[in-house]
Every structure is written in C-alpha cells, then in structure tokens.
Structure 1
Amino acid sequence: MKTFIVLSEKSWHRNLFESLNKNLAEYHWVLIDEKEKFVLGLLEELQPDKIFIPHWSYIIPASIYEKFDCVVFHETDLPFGRGGSPIQNLIARGFQDTQISALKAGKGLDTGPVYLKKDLNLNGTTKEIFLRCSNIIEEMIDEIIEKDIEPVPQKGDVVEFKRRKPEDGDLGDLIDVEKVFDYIRMLDCEGYPAAFIENEHFRFEFTRASLKSEKEIIADVRIIKK
C-alpha cells in the first residue's frame, strides 16, 4: 500500500486530510501538523511515496526534499509570484483570480518543476480563500496520484514576491475605499495580523469587512489601548 503524507500546521487542512483518507482509502494517509514531528527519522520509518504540503511556514530541510518527493502548493501562476505571502501580494496588486501551482520542493524558493495548475478565485477573506483552495488542492492531489503526473520545468518570466510584514497592514495612508476593503479581507484569517490604524493612544484592528458602496465599508473593530 502506498503511503502519502499531508503536511500543514493550519487547522482547516485537517478536513482536507480526513477527506483524502475517506475518498482515497486505498492508500495509507498520515497527517503531520507539528514542526517537531516533521523529522527525517519519522519519514524514514513511514517511507512516504509523496509528501503533500498545502501550507507550511518552515524551511524544508534538504535532507528531506532530496530523499522524498515533496509537493508544495503555491497560490500563483509560477514562475510569476515566487516568494512569500502570495494571496496578500496578489490582492494588493488588484488581482481577482490566480492559479494554484503544485510544484516539487527543491533548493530554490518556489523554483521547482510543476506537476499541474488549477484556477483559484480571490474573492472573500483570506480564510475563505484558503478553504476554497483546500478543495481544489484535494482535486490536484487526486489527479497527481491517479495520473502519476511527472513535474515539468517552469516556463515564463520570473516575478518575485516579498513576504509581507505586519506593518504592511497599516490602513493609514490608503485613500481608496476598495483598497481599504481589500487590505482588511486579505488579512482576515487566523494566524495573520489584522489590518489596522493607530494613533498615539490606541490601535484599531479590523475584520469581517463588507463593502457597502464606493464610499462605505462596515467592519468589526478591535480597539487596543497602547
């Protein structure tokens, strides 16, 4: 029986794992969701045929990706958008749609050969996008396994993204209402610092934004005294 690993620290990918375990029950599925468990010794015991990585915030050691096929899912049409914070960088640039690229992990950041790509819509909060993305990733995993797809080198012009920092969520200098809305929704997800405005005494953090008109947004606000 073939063994496949799902590697992700995000809570919503537990549902992805459970769905794969149910729908592709002819295989042995293992979920690793803690950094401390993603070690060479355990992998050598499991001998996975592939390690599928829908989200992982840590560097994958060469000792692992050189020995096992690690399939990373990145939310851009590679080689466009190599690097960090792909969803946030795309939304900040005004994109409404993108592609998920399934690529083989290697030495360079997001430079490996690509197995396949699927379309992804960027409407909604980042949490909603990730949930939508999870369903598409399940289809991609199924296709990679069942069709035994081999990755091919990336083609096209390289565009690199920089990982966005918490201070990049500052709304203070924005003048366009839709841009403010995009900044709030693109950071509205567990594990991400919320979009904010601050003054001398308080920090105002915004979530659950709704764009009502070209001049109005309704949102929840958390007020923190400095």
Structure 2
Amino acid sequence: METFIILSEKSWHKPLFESLKKNLSEYHWVLIDEKDQFSFDELEELKPGKIFIPHWSYIIPASIYEKFECVVFHETDLPYGRGGSPIQNLIARGLNHTKITALKAGKGLDTGPIYLKKDLNLNGTTKEIFLRCSEIIEEMIEEIIQEGMEPVPQKGDVVEFKRRKPEDGNLNDLSETGKVYDFIRMLDCEGYPPAYIENENFRFEFTRASLKSEKEIIADVRIIKK
C-alpha cells in the first residue's frame, strides 16, 4: 500500500486529511502537524510516495526534498507571487482572484516545476480563504495521484513577494475605507497578528470586519493598554 503524507501545522487541514483518508482509502495516509515529527529518519521509515504540503511555516531541508517528492501548494499564479504572505500581498494589491499552484519543492523559493493550478476566490477573511483553499487542495491532491501527474517547468514573468511583517498591518496611514477593510480581513486568522492602530497609551486590534458603505466599517476591536 503506497503511503502519502499531509504536512501542515494548521488545524483546518485535519479535516482535509480525514477526507483524503476516507475517499482514497486504497492508500496509507499520515498526518504530520508538528515540527519534531518531520525528520529524515521518520520519513525513511514511512517511505512516502509523495509529501503534500498545504501549509508549513518551516524550511524544508534539502536532504528531504532531494530524497522525497514534496508537493507544495502556493496561493498565487506562479511564477507571479513567489515568496511569503501570498494571500496578504494579493489582497493588498487589490486582487480578488488568484490561483492555487501545486509545485515540486526544490532549492529556490517557489521556483520548482508545476503539477497543476486551480482558481481561488479571495473574498472574506484569510481564515475563510484558507478553508476554501483546503477544499480545492483536496481536489488537486486527488488529481495528482489519480492521473500520475508529472510537473513541468514554470513559464512567464517572475514577480516576487516579500513576507509581510506585523508592523505592515498598521492602519494609521490608510485613507480609503476599502483598504482598511482589506487590511483587517487579510489578517483575520489564527496565527496572524491582526490589523491595528495605536496611540501612546493603547493598541487597538481589529477583526470580523464588515464593509457597510464607502464610508463605514463595522468591526470587533480589542483594546490593549501599553
């Protein structure tokens, strides 16, 4: 029985794992969701056919991606959008749609050959987008396995993204209501520092934004005394 691994530390990928295990029961599925579990020795014992990586915040060692076929899922239409914080960078640029790209991990950041791409809508909070991603990624994994896809080199103009920093969520300098709304929703997800404004006494962090009009947003706010 061939073994496939799902590698992700995010809680919303556990249902993805369970669904694959149920729908593709002819294979052996293993979920790795902790950094300590992801080791060369552990993988040598499992001997996976492929390692599917919906989300992983850590560097994948060359010893692993050179030995095992690692399939990364990146939320841009590569080679456009290589680099960190893809969803946040796309929304900050005013984009409403993108692609999820399945690519083979290698030495360069998001430079590997591509298996396939699927459309992704960028409406809603980042958490909602990730949940939408998970459903699409499941379809992509099934397609890669069942059709025996081989990746092909990337083509097109390269655009690189920089990983966004917590201070990039500062709303102080924004003047458009739509931009404020986008900044709040694109950081509204567990594990991400929320959009904020601050003064000398308090920090105001915003989540659950709703755009009511060109001049009005309703949102939850957490007020923190400095």
Q: Shorter-chain TM-score: which interval?
A: over 0.9
Post-superposition Cα deviations, 1:132-190, rounded to whole Å, max 9, x if no partner, equal: 00000000000000000000000000000000000000000000000000000000000
| C-alpha deviation, 1:17, in angstroms | 0.3
**In the alignment, is residue 7 of structure 1 matched against residue 7 of structure 2?**
yes
Q: Does residue 60 of structure 1 match 2:60?
A: yes
Question: TM-score of the superposition, structure 1-length normalised?
Answer: 1.00
Q: 1-side partners of 2:77 and 2:110: how far apart?
A: 11
5 Å matches for 1:39-58?
39-58=39-58
1:71: which partner in 2?
A: 71
CA deviations 1:52-109 (Å, max 9, x no partner) are 0000000000000000000000000000000000000000000000000000000000
* Aligned residue number for residue 90 of structure 1: 90
**RMSD between superposed Cα atoms in Å:** 0.2
Q: Read off the aligned partner of 2:213 and give its amino acid letter.
A: S
Question: 1:51 is aligned with what amino acid?
Answer: I
Structure 2 Cα separation of the partners of residues 14 and 62 of structure 1? 26
Cα distance in structure 2, aligned partners of 1:46 and 1:36: 15
Q: Give the Cα–Cα distance (whole angstroms) in 1 for the partners of residues 35 and 82 of structure 2.
A: 23
Q: Which aligned pairs between 1:112-127 and structure 2 lie closer than 5 A? A: 112-127=112-127
Match in the other structure for 2:184: 184
Structure-2 separation of matches of 1:165 and 1:57? 14
* Unpaired segments ≥5 residues, structure 2: none
* CA displacement at 1:121 relative to structure 2: 0.1
With structure 2 as the length reference, what TM-score do the two structures score? 1.00
Identity %: 83
Q: Distance in 1 between matches of 2:16 and 2:192?
A: 21
SS at match of 2:59: coil
2:198 corresponds to which letter in structure 1? Answer: E
Give the corresponding residue for 1:108.
Answer: 108
What is the CA–CA distance in structure 2 between the aligned matches of 1:185 and 1:27, rounded to whole Å? 38
Displacement of 1:193 in angstroms is 0.1
Provide the rounded CA distance (Å) in 1 between the counterparts of 2:203 and 2:214. Answer: 25
